[in-house]
Amino acid sequence: MVPACKTEPPPQDIPAMIVRALADGDSLLRNNKVDEAAKEYAWVVEQDASNAAALTGLGRVELARENPAGAIDPLKKAVAAKADDPLAQASLGRALAGTKDWAGAAEHLGKAWELDKDEDQYGLEYGVALRESKQYDEAIAVFGEVAESNPKIKYVYRELAHAHKEAGDLDKALRTYMKAQSAWAGDQDAFAGAALVYEAQGQVGKAVDQWAKYIQQDCCSSYSKETAQPKMAELKAKENAGDTAPTEG
């Protein structure tokens, strides 16, 4: 018996098939079926090389694979094809952040947030990229706007506190770390940040207390073992020796 030849769908069916493939790809990606999603998006690109949704999907697949460098090319093509797509802009920003291109990340995450002000996560990530690129005043303004819009968004106060700390305003940083701890009791970094500020201010006992609270939540990570626990031991020794002079940073 001769196997039947594979036939191509009629051209008029392709647009409907593209719509279905994109929907299937999005569903598969939401359910962490990354390889299957990639096949759907790749098929769409074969039919339409400038399809922004499919190119964005391919980029998001690479982000899910923890390959931000591999995500950049399809996402740049997606943004070139449809610059007003906030998801494409945000995804490209995330890929650039993943490669430590913080200025590029800030540019595209900022565009994403401008296009969709209701998506506070874009604003939060935009603020982080601004802070990492040492644009502290701009980062503080963005975090403040995000917090005003949605004070319940996770970690916004901690990120704002980091920006104040890195800008050198330790008093504002400390107040904001305390606010972060109240907003999210499980925010370990808010305790670590407060500990560092207290140490810089020479309040060693309070720094020890903050490190202890951090370690209660994180006993066993590499950061806890290599940084938090040795730092607490060092500060306890200083406290016992009566050496409580402020340190820099």
Residue type, position 192, single letter: A
Q: Measuring CA to CA, which residue among 126, 129, 130, 106 is closest to residue 117?
A: 126
Lowest mean pLDDT among 1-10, 24-33, 71-80: 1-10
Q: Is the dihedral of CA 60, 62, 65, 70 positive or negative?
A: negative
Q: What is the pLDDT of residues 36-72, one digit of tens each?
A: 999 999 999 999 999 999 999 999 999 999 999 999 9
217 in a domain, yes or no?
Answer: yes
Q: What is the pLDDT of residues 131-158, one digit of tens each?
A: 999 999 999 999 999 999 999 999 999 9
Report the C-alpha gap between 217 and 184 in whole angstroms. 12
Could you tell me how far CA 229 lies from the centroid of its own chain?
26
pLDDT of residue 185: 85
203 in a domain, yes or no?
Answer: yes
197 in a domain, yes or no?
Answer: yes
pLDDT of residue 241: 83
Q: What is the pLDDT of residues 74-124, one digit of tens each?
A: 999 999 999 999 999 999 999 999 999 999 999 999 999 999 999 999 999
Q: Is the dihedral of CA 194, 143, 126, 136 positive or negative?
A: negative
91 in a domain, yes or no?
Answer: no
227 in a domain, yes or no?
Answer: yes
pLDDT of residue 1: 46
Residue 233 belongs to domain with CATH number: 1.25.40.10
Cβ count within 10 A of residue 236: 16
Report the C-alpha gap between 48 and 25 in whole angstroms. 15
Domain housing 211:
168-249
Question: What is the number of structural domains in the chain?
Answer: 1
237 in a domain, yes or no?
Answer: yes
246 in a domain, yes or no?
Answer: yes
Terminus-to-terminus CA distance in the chain, angstroms?
79
Geometric angle at alpha carbon 33, from 31 and 38, rounded to 5°? 125
Cβ count within 10 A of residue 121: 17
| Tokens read off for 81 | 């094809």
